[in-house]
Amino acid sequence: MPARATAPLRLAGACLRLLLVMTLLLGVAYPGAVLLVGRLVPERADGSPVRVDGRVVGSALLGQSVPEGPEGDAWFHPRPSAAGDGYDPLSSGASNLGPSSPELLALVEERRARVAEREGVDPALVPADALTASGSGLDPHVSPAYAALQVPRVARERGLPEDEVRAMVDDATTGRWLGVVGQPAVEVLALNVAVEEAADPAVVR
């Protein structure tokens, strides 16, 4: 058979071999490696679930809303959320209101007054993360300042010494990555779990 006639066959054979190699690499080896790594760190691969008595109560990666009013006074509150009705992972996002927006300014002042009243402090002492939502609306952390502001209320409602609750805040606080990147933050869900485990349920109002 002339060489010119066999060239398409050789090309087809090379393409078939390439297809098989890439299928093995990208369809078998790569997914298998990703699965293996996921099994080595199952908590992160499964969404970093937080469990209490074997029951999943949330994720360390996602914030959770806390009711306003007496029903939520025994809990540490997260920062505001603009994701759906609040911390909806299917509606992640910010409010898209700019810093000069009258609507945002009114919202911030409303939140400032509400937090100050709830915590019994001067409105000027309310930290910024209690007034504005995060870019994702799913931030599971608050600043140490906002957590510290809530300690007296939670301690009172839970019937716990304030020093004990402050120690729980310290335990739930993460530092800067590598000691230099980011800011210290308090994981609200982990803190609320610790508070609930330490308190006598009969004391909660």
Residue 205's pLDDT is what?
A: 54
The Cα–Cα gap between 27 and 94 comes to 37
Instruction: Round the average pLDDT of the chain to a whole number and report it.
Output: 85
Please tell me the predicted confidence (pLDDT) of residue 39: 67
Backbone angles phi, psi at 45, to 5 degrees: -65, -30
Alpha helices, H only, the chain: 3-24, 30-40, 42-45, 102-119, 144-158, 162-171, 188-198
The confidence band for 177, taking pLDDT boundaries of 50, 70 and 90, is confident
**Under 8 Å between Cβ of 117 and 111:** no
Confidence (pLDDT) at 163: 95
Mean pLDDT: which of 44-48, 84-88, 113-117 is highest? Answer: 113-117
Higher pLDDT, 129 or 67: 129
The continuous run of DSSP H or E covering 186 comes out as strand 185-187
d(CA 66, CA 147): 14
Tell me the C-alpha distance between 71 and 163, whole Å: 23
188 pLDDT above the threshold of 90: yes
Say if residue 8's pLDDT is above 80: no
Is 92 in a helix, a strand, or coil?
coil
* 20 pLDDT higher than 60: yes
Quick one: pLDDT at residue 117? 95
Q: For the chain, give the number of residues.
A: 205
Query: pLDDT by residue (tens digit) across 96-120?
Result: 888 888 999 999 999 999 999 999 9
pTM for this predicted structure: 0.74
Task: Give the separation between CA 136 and CA 164, rounded to whole angstroms.
Answer: 32
Mean pLDDT of 79-103: 85
Q: How far apart are CA 110 and CA 115, in angstroms?
A: 9
- As a whole-number percent, the residues of the chain with pLDDT over 90 amount to 42
| HSE, side-chain direction, 13 A CA sphere, residue 93 | 7
What is the per-residue pLDDT for 161?
Answer: 95
Indicate the pLDDT class of residue 201, thresholds 50, 70 and 90: low
